[in-house]
Amino acid sequence: MDERVSWGRVLAAVTCAATVSMLPVFLLGAAAPSLGADLHVDAGRLGIAVSAFWIAMALVGLVGGHVAHARGSRATTIAGIAIAVVSLVGLATAGSFAALVVFAVVGGAATALATPAGDMALFSVLPPERRGFAYGVKQASLPGASLLAGLGVPLVVLTVGWRWAFAAAVLVALPALIALPRRLPRPAVRSAAEPAARRAARPRGLVPVSTAVALAMAAVSATGGFYVVAAVAGGTAAPTAGFLLALGGVCGISGRFVASWRFGTAARPLLVCAGLMAAGGLGTAGLALTGSTGGLAAATVLACGAGWGWNGLLTQDVVASHPEATARASAAIMVGAAVGGVAGPALFGLVATGAGYTVAWLAAGGCLLLAAAVLVVREARRAPAPVSGATGHHR
């Protein structure tokens, strides 16, 4: 670890970078009622636009970790921020549905670069005892984007227009660029004596985890993309729906922080993640069964607080388990998240169009429950990890 680099500055920079890279997809969902009227975007088309973001994230994510290792975390983070700004400006000026899709793709590419680069930067400067806190804060970027998007509905979208919401989101890039140190150390390179066994074990360990992440993110991305438009379709006023989405963002931030901080040193963190996914699945299904604002708020707290709360803890566990290839391990999980992000909004939009939002929410909740089951089975089949004093558990 390089003592000359402030890990607090790095944490602030990568959190803001991750947030600005996620804002395009969450603003698409939050502003959907207004931009849909202007650009003739229904639930099915919204699903396509949101899925385009995640498709790009999945494809670019296949090489995002390699780019971060080859070019360095600082250069890759800056590239992600710049591409995110292009996406937001393009969405703010879009004049057609096709343009929305194109700049959603650009936004997905930004996230695919900023995410593994940020995880690599954090791991290189963080002392082990700070990782639970730091990864909880950093992974709060997704619910943080949801919070900002939700607040943008009553404060910007419904006052000066949806285009200004995308334009104002560009400002989040400024603190990321200001806080990012001029130089960042690289994580320690693995020694030549140990890599063979760990190289062989890594794919077997991450495939079920990535599968669970894909299932969970299918529900999470659908919630972020369709929450406002579904609530409005159910009779909730648009400003109220925006504030409830913001409430969900606050709960998601709190859930990720508390889970990472409280359970970061647990013997089996993925079992904690499974519990959070299961609780979130019940809350997400509850979004379909509530008939009042109070009931919708209660379901939102559980769906977002627990259903979005697992990501920081899971990322911390995966990165700590692969200190010799932090960005590649992060990218492997991110590809799973992107696959879920592709399928979730597209399928949710199709189900909502054909069978209604009630069925769509129940299906989304089922995805989180299935994700929890995958993690439980994976942990049940895994042999107990040997005690290691230096690097913790390995998978």
pLDDT score for 392:
43
Cβ–Cβ < 8 Å for 324, 189:
yes
Cβ neighbour number for residue 70 with a 10 Å cutoff: 11
Domain ranges of the chain: 7-182+197-381
Q: Spell out the alpha helix ranges (H) of 126-265.
A: 131-138, 141-152, 162-169, 173-179, 195-233, 238-263
Tell me which amino acid residue 234 is. G
Q: Which residue, among 111, 72, 84, has the nearest Cα to 326 in the 3D structure?
A: 72
Give 300-363 as a DSSP string. HHHHHHTTTTTHHHHHHHHHHH-GGGHHHHHHHHHHHHHHHHHHHHHHHHHHHHHH-HHHHHHH
* pLDDT tens readout for residues 3-55: 466 788 888 899 999 999 999 988 998 888 888 888 888 878 888 888 889 88
In CATH, the number for domain 7-182+197-381 is: 1.20.1250.20
* pLDDT tens readout for residues 338-354: 888 888 888 998 899 88
**What is the rounded distance in angstroms from the CA atom of residue 19 to the CA atom of residue 24?**
10
Cβ–Cβ < 8 Å for 58, 136:
no
Lowest-pLDDT choice from 225-229, 288-292, 371-375: 288-292
325: confidence class by pLDDT, cuts 50, 70, 90? low
**What is the rounded distance in angstroms from the CA atom of residue 135 to the CA atom of residue 321?**
14
Question: Global pTM?
Answer: 0.72
C-alpha dist (Å) from residue 118 to 24, 69, 200, 251, 319: 18, 11, 26, 23, 12
Question: Number of C-alpha atoms within 13 angstroms, CB side, residue 297?
Answer: 10
203: confidence class by pLDDT, cuts 50, 70, 90? very low
Cβ–Cβ < 8 Å for 352, 230:
yes
* pLDDT tens readout for residues 254-270: 888 888 878 877 788 88
**What is the rounded distance in angstroms from the CA atom of residue 76 to the CA atom of residue 81?**
9
Cβ–Cβ < 8 Å for 288, 361:
yes
Distance of CA 14 to the CA centre of its chain: 13
